Amino acid sequence: MADIAALVLAAGKGTRMKSDLVKVMHPLAGCPMVDYPVAAACAAGADRLVLVVGHQSDKVLDHFAGAADVAFVVQEEQLGTGHAVACAAGALAGFSGRVLILCGDVPLIREKTLVELLDRHEERQAVVTVLTAHLDEPTGYGRVVKREGGRILRIVEEKDASLEERSIREINSGIYCVNGDFLFDAVAALSNDNAQGEYYLTDIIRMAADRGLHCYSLQVDDPAEVMGVNDRVQLAAAGKTLQMRINEALMLEGVTIVDPAATYIEPGVRVGRDTVIHPGVQIGGATEVGSGCTIESNAVIRGCRLGNGVHVKAGSVMTDSVLHDEVAVGPMAHLRPGTELMAHVKIGNFVETKKIVMGEGSKASHLTYLGDATIGSNVNVGCGTITCNYDGVNKHRTVIGDDVFVGSDVQFVAPVTIGRNSLIAAGTTVTRDVPPDSLAIARTPQVNKEGWKLKKK
């Protein structure tokens, strides 16, 4: 099989987005929209990838920094799609395989559709194969004009189309498979003699047809796949479609999603079977959720790893944290980066953690801050406990051994170590290490002044 290259056209500014951010970098389900055609092309077998960038090219380049298999070409002036492809000629010099041409603002294209496009192109020995869609309302799209037998004669942009041509319902998606040895010769010969004064890539169809070369189309079953994103309304519509794809795939793998229309899960998130996800949940980043978990409404989880049987209660927020089996969190808890909770740990309502390891069976049930701490197994942390980890310059660690009982309203002034099996009395401010098996008390003595209230009157 011949080599496959992919060109992703991502140079446009996106004026209709009304944004200071270039269009292709607008997030869609947690990723810049340009990520999706790039990923689809790679998954379909493209082993050479070229991005044509223009407006805010530095942002696109920074995003793909470190991706060794991606080459970049800068289109200094945006003179049309044909000009964009011509700019990439040097990056694919001598390439004679199949070239997939995709648009950075058409994010819903599927891998399987591109594979079918490549296969159909090969089977028909075509020079150009155009991905098309049939729309009941094709306004704004180029129309596909065919001859008998299904071969394409030309693609006409709407502004250049006759009334008869505008009545055609088959539209050009802007996605093509083209033989490389034909493509770059053709774009070098393009003219900008049209209503827009641009170099249309679609003109290579007419050029091929005039030479008697075969040009065919592949019509997608779902027109949403080739929906372009030009404004925020279309961005939201694309996001909704992508969200439903992700949720449906998870449900078919055994995950219960109570309300798929109100559940927001990013690509790449993995969820085990028999997990139940309630409405309003957001899960993103490289999150992995085990089996048999329950994630209640409005929880926000990003970059976390959850074991089996984890219960995340309503309104909890978790980032870059690890939860082992049978952990319970929330409601309204906040797990900040660096949190690791061993099996059977309980973190209750309005508890915040950061850079802690909490041993098996330990619990902090409510109204507590635990930061920069190592906490052993079977530790009870009472209500209102604080690890005072910051002295204004540096962060310091608190270490609490196994089987420690911490009463309510305790402050650990780090650095401090609490020995195993100790008891820290309620209201204590701990400023020194506590030996194992000890009772630590640090309170101002209570004074009762009898009859004081009567005298006050």
At 195 the pLDDT is: 74
Residue 1 pLDDT class (50, 70, 90 cuts): very low
At 2 the pLDDT is: 53
Q: Terminal CA-to-CA distance of the chain, rounded, Å?
A: 99
SS3 68: coil
From 420, 400, 410, select the one nearest 441 (Cα to Cα): 410
Distance CA(88)–CA(52), nearest Å, equals 7
Asked if the model's pLDDT at residue 352 lies above 90, the reply is yes
At 445 the pLDDT is: 87
Q: pLDDT tens across 56-103, in order?
A: 999 999 999 877 788 999 998 889 999 999 999 989 988 889 999 999
From 325, 262, 256, select the one nearest 299 (Cα to Cα): 262
Return the active site residues. 366
Helix ranges restricted to H, 391-432: none
CA distances from 229 to 25, 78, 108, 145, 419 (A): 12, 18, 10, 24, 60
Mean local confidence (pLDDT), 165-183: 93
Mean local confidence (pLDDT), 21-34: 95
Distance CA(420)–CA(404), nearest Å, equals 6
Q: pTM above the 0.85 mark?
A: yes
